[in-house]
Structure 1
Amino acid sequence: MYIDGIFVGSAHVDDKPPYNRPMGPVVARGGASGVVIRHGKLVAEWGDTSRPDMTFSIAKSYLAILTGLAVDKGLIGSIDERVGERVKDGGFDDAHNSAITWRHLLEQTSEWHGELFERPDSVDWHRQVGPSVSSGTSNAKGSERALTAPGTHFEYNDVRVNRLGLSLLRLFERPLPEVLKEHIMDPIGCSTTWAWNGYETSWVDVGGQRMQSVPGGGHWGGGIVINSRDHARLGELIKNEGYWEGQQLLSQERVRAMLIPSRLNPTYGLLWWLNTEKRLYSQAPETSVFALGGGSNIIWIDRPRDLVVVIRWLDKPCTDELLGKFTSAIIA
C-alpha cells in the first residue's frame, strides 16, 4: 500500500523553454513518510517524520492562513476588497487587474495578467489540476486563450498565487516566513528545521528594505521545506479552528471561510481542497479537507473524526484506497 511515488519535479514537466528552469533551491527528496493524529495524539507514523522535505503546493494553504492573519490584524478589511486598494506596486493598476479581489486570488479565479519574477501568467493557462467545474480541455498548457473578467474562470495558476504572496509581503512589510514563524509555527511548537525559500528573481524593495517574496509551491524551486510532524501540527491548528492551547492564533471565522466551497469549483475553498460530494476522494469522508502538493504530499483533516493525517510521497493512484483504509479503521 505504501508504494513510493518517486515524484521529484523541480520545474513543471509541461513548461516550455525558457520557463522550464528552477529559479529557487531544490532539496533532494526523502522516502515515504507520514503520521496519524487522533484526538490530538500521535497514534501511528512511518518513515522519517523528522526529515524536512519539499512540499510543493501545500505552501498555497499556508498562504491562505497568512491571508486570514492579515484580515485578523486589520491589514485587509475584507477578502472581497480589491487588492489594489492597499497594494500600490503597479500590479493592480490597469483596468483588468484593478478589479481583482483577495477572494479572487484565494479561489484561483483572479485572471491576473502580467509577468512576475520572470514568469508570465500565461505559462499556466489551461493547466489542469484536480477536478474542475468544466469537463476538461484539450488545449496544451500554456497555449493562448482569451482572458475573462476576474472571478469568472477557475484556473490553477502558480504565477497568480505568487502574486498573492507578494501582495501579502507588501501588507506585512516583513518576510512571510518571519510572520508565519512568529504567529503560527512557534506558538504551535513546530521545529526549527522548516524553511520557506524564494526565487533568485523574487527579491523586492519593501519600505526601503530588500526582502524576498516566497512562492506558493515548488513549481520553479523554492517553497516550503518541512517535516511531517510540523505539517501535522499545522493540520491540528486548522482542525481546531485556529485554537491552540489557550490561544486563538487564527480566528475561527477565518478558518471556516477557507473551507467554504467556492462558486466556480466546489472542491476548492481558499487555497484548500474540499471533498465536496466526495469528488476528490470517493473513499474519504465528505467532511475531509486537504492541503495538497505534488508528489502526493497531503495534509488530510477530518474534524468530525478528530483526525489529522500527513502523507508524503505516496504513489498517487493509491491515494483514494489508502484514505479509505484509514476511514474504515476509525469509528467516528
Structure 2
Amino acid sequence: MRIKRLFKKIIAVLLLLVTSVLVYSLIPRVRNIDPEFQTELEYGEPIAKEIKDILTPKEEPERIRSIVILQDEKVVYEYGPTDKIMNTASIRKSILGLLYGIAADKGLVNINKTLTELKIDESTPLTNQEKTATIKHLLMYKSGIYLPSQGEHDSQITDRPIRESYKPGDYFFSNNFDANALGTIFMQETGISIGKFMEEHLAIPMGFQDFSKQNVIVGDPWFWPKKESKHEQYYIYLSTRDLARIGAMVANGGHWNGKQIVSKKWIAESITSYSNLKKNRINYGRYDGFGYQWWISSNTKTVWADGYGERFLIINPNRNLTLVEQNFTGNSFLSTGLWLMNKNMDSGLGNLIKVHQMITLKE
C-alpha cells in the first residue's frame, strides 16, 4: 500500500511539473496593447497591381509574415498581420542608434567618451588598448574588442579576429559585444531604461500603434544558454507598421508628421558609411558600407536594418520610401523553440528588392 501511495504521489508531482513547464513555455514575452498615444497611419495611392502581385503570396506562407511599404509617410502596400508585435532581432541595434542621437542632442551622452572614462569593462577584463574604444567606435562596429558576447551567431563567432589584432577605429567587424555594450552604456549614461526612453522619445511623438516600454526586454527571460558577459542582450519587439514608421522617419531626415524626432544632423551622420566593406576580409553580401548601426548599399542608394530570421527594413531617403518585412519568430519559449527547430526562413526578400527597383524606376 505504501509503495502504491508513493507511486501516486510521484505521478502527481510529475504531472504538476509537466503542467507548470507547459504553462510557462506558453507565456508570451510581450503582449499586444492599445496605447493611448497611438495614431492611425495615413493611406496613399496603392502601388500598381503588377507590383502588388509580386509581393502577395499565391499560397499561404509557411511562416507568419507581414509587409508594409510607406512612401511620404503613407501606406501604399500592406500584407499580413501588420499589427502583430515581433522580435526585431538585430534591427534593435539600428533603433538604439537613433536613441543615441536623441540622447546626444539632449546632452545626456557624449559619443567621444572612451570605455575607460565610462568605466566599462567585461567579465573577461578588457585590455588598456580595448578600453580606448569610444561610443562612436562601438556605433561603427570598430571597437577592436573581440570577445564572446550574448546573442552572437555565425560569422560573429567563426570570423572573430584575434584580440588586439586591430586598434579601435581601424577595422570593421559586426560584433555583438559592441551592440550589447551600447545598451549597457545607454542606460548607464541616461539613467533611463531603453524601453522607457524609446516610449517617451519615439513611440509617443510618432504615435506608435502597438508599443509600450514593456516591449523592450534587457536580458533573456528564458533559460537559453548565455555567454558570460556584463553586457546583456536587449530585445525590442515591434509591429511591422510601427517599424515602418521608424524607417519613414529616417528616410525623411528624422522628421515625422510635422515633428523633428531625431535631428537631421544625427540622421545624416548615422547613414554615412565609415567602412568600405568590399575591402573587408569578410563578405557582407549586398552591403558595402556601415554607418552608426545602419548597413549601407550604395549601389541601390538604400540604408538597411537587418535582423536574424529574415526581417528587413529598407530605406531609400532619395525617394522617401520605406519597405519592411517581418517574419514571426516566436513570442514565448515554446513558439521561439519551434521556430529555431525549423531551418526554413521562408523569406520574401528577393521580391521586396525587386519591388523597390520597380517603384523607383516607375517614378
Establish whether TM, by shorter chain, passes 0.5.
yes
- Would the alpha carbon gap of residues 65 and 38 (structure 1) be closer, same or farther in structure 2, given more than 3 Å must change? same
Q: Which of 101, 117, 121 lines up with 1:68 in the alignment?
A: 101
- In the alignment, what sits opposite 2:293? 271
Correspondence 1:12-27 to 2 at 5 A: none
- In the alignment, what sits opposite 1:304? 318
Greater Rg over alpha carbons, structure: 2
Q: Which of 344, 348, 355 lines up with 1:325 in the alignment?
A: 355
Shift of 1:112: 2.6
Q: Does the CA-based 8 Å contact 1:34-1:312 persist in structure 2?
A: yes
- In the alignment, what sits opposite 2:309? 295
- Would the alpha carbon gap of residues 31 and 93 (structure 1) be closer, same or farther in structure 2, given more than 3 Å must change? closer
- In the alignment, what sits opposite 2:132? 99
Farther off after superposition, 26-35 or 37-46: 26-35
Shift of 1:111: 2.2
1:170, 1:30 → 2: CA distance?
A: 38
Give 2:219's aligned amino acid. Answer: Y
Shift of 1:52: 0.6
- In the alignment, what sits opposite 1:141? 158
Question: Which has a greater percent of helix?
Answer: 2
2:103, 2:249 → 1: CA distance?
A: 17
What RMSD in Å do the two structures reach over aligned CA positions?
3.1
Shift of 1:227: 0.7
Q: Which of 171, 191, 195 lines up with 1:153 in the alignment?
A: 171
Give 2:346's aligned amino acid. Answer: D
Give 1:128's aligned amino acid. Answer: S
1:329, 1:144 → 2: CA distance?
A: 40
- Give CA deviations for 1:129-179 in whole Å, capped at 9, x if unaligned: 7xxxxxxxxxx7277734321122222121221011101111110111100
Shift of 1:322: 3.1
In structure 1, runs of 5+ residues without a counterpart are 1-24, 115-119, 130-139, 202-211, 217-222, 279-285
- Give CA deviations for 1:264-296 in whole Å, capped at 9, x if unaligned: 5342111111112x2xxxxxxx21111110122
| TM-score normalized by the length of structure 2 | 0.65
3-state DSSP class of the match of 2:272? coil
2:143, 2:163 → 1: CA distance?
A: 14
- Give CA deviations for 1:211-246 in whole Å, capped at 9, x if unaligned: x97635xxxxxx111110000111111112112233
Q: Does the CA-based 8 Å contact 2:67-2:79 persist in structure 1?
A: yes
2:146, 2:129 → 1: CA distance?
A: 8
- In the alignment, what sits opposite 1:15? none
Q: Does the CA-based 8 Å contact 1:27-1:54 persist in structure 2?
A: no
Q: Does the CA-based 8 Å contact 2:66-2:82 persist in structure 1?
A: yes
Give 2:218's aligned amino acid. Answer: G
Within the alignment, does 1:315 sit opposite 2:346 as a pair? yes
Q: Does the CA-based 8 Å contact 2:73-2:245 persist in structure 1?
A: no
1:154, 1:232 → 2: CA distance?
A: 28
Farther off after superposition, 238-247 or 173-182: 238-247
Give 2:155's aligned amino acid. Answer: Q
1:89, 1:37 → 2: CA distance?
A: 40
3-state DSSP class of the match of 1:299? strand
Within the alignment, does 1:197 sit opposite 2:214 as a pair? no
1:308, 1:297 → 2: CA distance?
A: 14
2:160, 2:135 → 1: CA distance?
A: 26
- Would the alpha carbon gap of residues 61 and 297 (structure 1) be closer, same or farther in structure 2, given more than 3 Å must change? same
- In the alignment, what sits opposite 2:90? 57
Give 2:81's aligned amino acid. Answer: D
| TM-score normalized by the length of structure 1 | 0.71
3-state DSSP class of the match of 1:174? coil
1:183, 1:149 → 2: CA distance?
A: 34
- Would the alpha carbon gap of residues 197 and 30 (structure 1) be closer, same or farther in structure 2, given more than 3 Å must change? farther
- Would the alpha carbon gap of residues 166 and 237 (structure 1) be closer, same or farther in structure 2, given more than 3 Å must change? same
Q: Does the CA-based 8 Å contact 1:258-1:272 persist in structure 2?
A: yes
